[in-house]
Copies of this chain bind each other. A is one copy, B any other.
Amino acid sequence: CLISDEQNGHRALHILQEERRKQAQRSVLISCQVTTNEKKFLKYLSQHGDINKFFFYESYGLYAVVEFSSSESVASLLESSVIPSVSHECVVPFKSRLLWLRNHSLVDSGGQTSGLVCQAQTTTPINELIHRISTQESIEQQMMSLTEASQLTEENSRLRFLVCSLLEDIATAYFPECTITPFGSSVNGFGKLGCDLDMFLNLDNIKGRNMRLPKSGLSLEYQMKRANSERAVTQSILSVIGECVDQFGPGCVGVQKILNARCPLVRFSHQPSGFQCDLTANNRVAMKSTELLYLYGGLDARVRHLVFSVRCWARVHGITSSIPGAWITNFSLTMMVLFFLQRRNPPIIPTLDQLQQLAGPADKSIIDGNDCTFVSDFAKVQLQSNTETLEQLLSAFFEFYATFNFSRLSINIRKGKEQNKPEMSPLHILNPFETSLNISKNVNVTQLDRFVALCQESSWLSQQSRTLNPKKSTSGKNTAMPWGLAALLLPLQVDGIKGRKK
Question: Which residues of A are in contact with B by a Cβ distance under 8 Å?
Answer: 30-31, 40-41, 44, 77, 80-86, 89-96, 98-106, 170, 173-175, 203, 206, 208-230, 232-233, 236-237, 239-240, 243-244, 247-251, 272
Given A83-B206, A90-B232, 10 other A-B residues pairs in contact with their CB atoms under 8 A: A83-B224, A90-B226, A91-B224, A93-B206, A99-B220, A99-B222, A100-B223, A103-B218, A104-B216, A223-B250
* Contact across chains for B236 and A224 when beta carbons are under 8 A apart: no
9 residue pairs from A and B, CB less than 8 Å apart: A82-B222, A84-B221, A92-B224, A94-B175, A99-B220, A236-B247, A236-B248, A240-B244, A240-B247
- Out of B90, B94, B222, which one reaches A96, CB within 8 Å? B222
* Contact across chains for A95 and B221 when beta carbons are under 8 A apart: no
A251 CB contacts on chain B under 8 angstroms? 223
Q: Nearest CB to that of A214 among chain B residues?
A: B104
A89 CB contacts on chain B under 8 angstroms? 226-228
* Contact across chains for A101 and B31 when beta carbons are under 8 A apart: no
A85 CB contacts on chain B under 8 angstroms? 209-210
Bound-complex Cα distance A217 to B40 (A): 9
A contact face: mostly helix, strand, loop, or mixed: loop
- Out of B170, B213, B225, which one reaches A91, CB within 8 Å? B225
Query: Which residue, of A80, A173, A203, has the highest number of chain B Cβ atoms within 10 A?
Result: A173
A215 CB contacts on chain B under 8 angstroms? 104
- Out of B221, B225, B230, which one reaches A100, CB within 8 Å? B221
Query: Which residue, of A96, A218, A251, has the highest number of chain B Cβ atoms within 10 A?
Result: A218
Given contacts A86-B226, A91-B226, contact A77 B221 (CB under 8 A): no
Give the 4 A-B CB pairs with smallest separation, nearest first. Answer: A173-B173, A91-B224, A236-B247, A223-B250
* Contact across chains for B247 and A90 when beta carbons are under 8 A apart: no
Bound-complex Cα distance A44 to B218 (A): 7
Shortest CB distance A411–B (Å)? 35
Bound-complex Cα distance A211 to B248 (A): 21
A101 CB contacts on chain B under 8 angstroms? 218-220
Bound-complex Cα distance A94 to B236 (A): 11
- Out of B40, B90, B104, B220, which one reaches A227, CB within 8 Å? B90
A44 CB contacts on chain B under 8 angstroms? 217-218
Bound-complex Cα distance A84 to B84 (A): 44
- Out of B82, B221, B272, which one reaches A82, CB within 8 Å? B221
A228 CB contacts on chain B under 8 angstroms? 89-90
Bound-complex Cα distance A99 to B243 (A): 27
Q: Nearest CB to that of A89 among chain B residues?
A: B226
Bound-complex Cα distance A422 to B203 (A): 60
* Contact across chains for A99 and B221 when beta carbons are under 8 A apart: yes
Bound-complex Cα distance A204 to B84 (A): 15
* Contact across chains for A247 and B226 when beta carbons are under 8 A apart: no
A203 CB contacts on chain B under 8 angstroms? 93
Bound-complex Cα distance A105 to B247 (A): 48
- Out of B41, B104, B216, which one reaches A105, CB within 8 Å? B216
* Contact across chains for A223 and B98 when beta carbons are under 8 A apart: yes
Q: Nearest CB to that of A235 among chain B residues?
A: B247
Shortest CB distance A84–B (Å)? 5
Shortest CB distance A445–B (Å)? 40
* Contact across chains for A105 and B225 when beta carbons are under 8 A apart: no
Shortest CB distance A177–B (Å)? 9
* Contact across chains for A208 and B82 when beta carbons are under 8 A apart: yes
